Amino acid sequence: MKRIFCLSIAFIVLASSPSAWAQEQIRNGKLAVTSAKVRLKYKKEDEALVILEEGRRIDPNHAELYPLLGSLYIMKGEYMKADSAFDKAVALDPKLEKEVTDARKAEWSSLINRGVNAMESEDYDQAISLMNHATLIYPEGVEAHINLAAAHVNASQKEEEWVREYVKTHGLEKPGAPESPASSILLRESILHFRKAIEIEPANTDVKLDLARVYDYLGKPDSARVYYQEVLQLQPENRSVKEAMANCYLREGNLESAHTIYSELMATGEVSPDVAFNIGVVELQLKDWEGAERAFELTVKGKPDDLEALENLSISLMEQKKYDKAIPQLEKIVALNERNQGAWGSLVVAYAQLGMNDKASQAHEKYKMLGGGE
């Protein structure tokens, strides 16, 4: 009797295991859903999953299996399986779309929150992983794509060794592609997600601006201009975007277009010292000496010790033969950098033109000491 009792116990344990029970008792999808819900009520997710998968095997066209399967796959971190299950549910019964969308959104929100927390902790590997999962679960959610792009941008700014290792580990290097810095590879990944976000929200100027800046940083001013222009169509008075557009034209060598925008900026309000400097560079190349003078004066006003701005200002003044205005700039240059041979040479000319022969002679001696000719 004792031995039979033991065998009975063994039989009961075997029969009550979820996989054995499912294979013997599940006859259709409806029963699988009912049985799984009972298991879920008692927090037995593993058993519920076994039952639902058995139900799917027996009755693959029972639509109500799939929302539960999707939710359980999410709990297991199997996001591609979850996405497939949710899609199957709606394909079999379009009436389940709201239930499926609600389930997707609930997990999507959780993933985004966890991803943002990971970004704040500078755990970009985890952040990118979580945001990637979020885009799989609910592809229509723009925030996941935006944050995924931002995570790639932020990750690209980490230490070079970390970035190289991340790119290598995740297989982001494309076979046969030209060699480029690992940070650039991450930035190119961000472009994919910024563009996806724009597909979802075409009027999102913030995303377009971020995308333009990434293209700009990667040295692709032609691509950057496309998105700067789209932002300007929605925000025609945005001066910072106009500045960025002009800078793109400048880098492309399109001086006339850059000049048009810069002139408008100068005529309609104050510009920063850096923008004034860029304006001056364009004016110099166009040989508009007076325009260059105005621009570099603005730069020097904001940045009094900017040697390059002082040198360019002195060039524009010398070209106009404004020797009296050029001399203070040139004297400041040599005060900041006594070995600036070009400035000493210009001082020789400026002093001599104004009849300041002693100073011209002294400047000439200094010029020769630095290797200048007679």
The average pLDDT across 331-342 equals 94
Place of tokens 């994919």: 192
The average pLDDT across 72-84 equals 88
DSSP string, 285-303: HTT-HHHHHHHHHHHHHH-
Please give the pLDDT value at position 313: 97
Q: Which residues contact 75 (CB under 8 A, 6 or more apart)?
A: 45
pLDDT at 179 over 90: no
Please give the pLDDT value at position 13: 38
Beta strands per DSSP E along 152-261: none
pLDDT at 115 over 60: yes
Question: Could you give the angle at the alpha carbon of 251 between the alpha carbons of 148 and 341, nearest 5°?
Answer: 125
pLDDT > 90: percent of the chain = 70
- Residue 8: pLDDT band by 50, 70, 90 thresholds? very low
Please give the pLDDT value at position 270: 83
Q: In degrees to the nearest 10, what's the CA dihedral of 329, 332, 338, 342?
A: -10
- Residue 107: pLDDT band by 50, 70, 90 thresholds? confident
Per the structure block, which two tokens stand in for 309?
A: 């701005």
pLDDT at 12 over 50: no
- Residue 1: pLDDT band by 50, 70, 90 thresholds? very low
**Averaged pLDDT score across all residues of the chain:** 89
How many other C-beta atoms are found inside a 10 Å radius of the C-beta of residue 76? 12
Cα separation values, 182 from 155, 173, 174, 218, 296, Å: 10, 8, 11, 12, 37
pLDDT at 294 over 90: yes
List, for residues 200-217, the tens digit of each pLDDT value. Answer: 999 999 999 999 999 999
- Residue 182: pLDDT band by 50, 70, 90 thresholds? very high
- Among the ranges given (71-75, 110-114, 126-130, 220-224), the one the predictor scored with the smallest mean pLDDT: 71-75
List, for residues 34-47, the tens digit of each pLDDT value. Answer: 988 998 898 899 99
Higher per-residue pLDDT: 268 or 69: 69
> Domains (ranges, CATH) in the chain?
15-92 (1.25.40.10)
pLDDT at 22 over 80: no
pTM reported for the whole predicted model: 0.72
pLDDT at 5 over 50: no
Please give the pLDDT value at position 14: 36
Q: Which residues contact 328 (CB under 8 A, 6 or more apart)?
A: none
Cα separation values, 295 from 171, 271, 275, 282, 292, Å: 48, 9, 9, 10, 5
Please give the pLDDT value at position 137: 87
Please give the pLDDT value at position 2: 41
The average pLDDT across 78-83 equals 88
Q: Which residues contact 326 (CB under 8 A, 6 or more apart)?
A: 314, 317, 318, 346, 350
- Residue 221: pLDDT band by 50, 70, 90 thresholds? very high
**Cα(86)–Cα(94) distance, rounded to whole angstroms?**
11
Please give the pLDDT value at position 25: 60
Please give the pLDDT value at position 373: 55
Higher per-residue pLDDT: 38 or 22: 38
List, for residues 228-250, the tens digit of each pLDDT value. Answer: 999 999 999 999 999 999 999 98
HEC assignment per residue over 42-96:
CCCHHHHHHHHHHHHHHCCCCCCHHHHHHHHHHHHCCHHHHHHHHHHHHHHCHHH
Please give the pLDDT value at position 211: 97
- DSSP class of residue 139 equals T
**Nearest in space to 247 (alpha carbons), one of 266, 262, 264:** 262
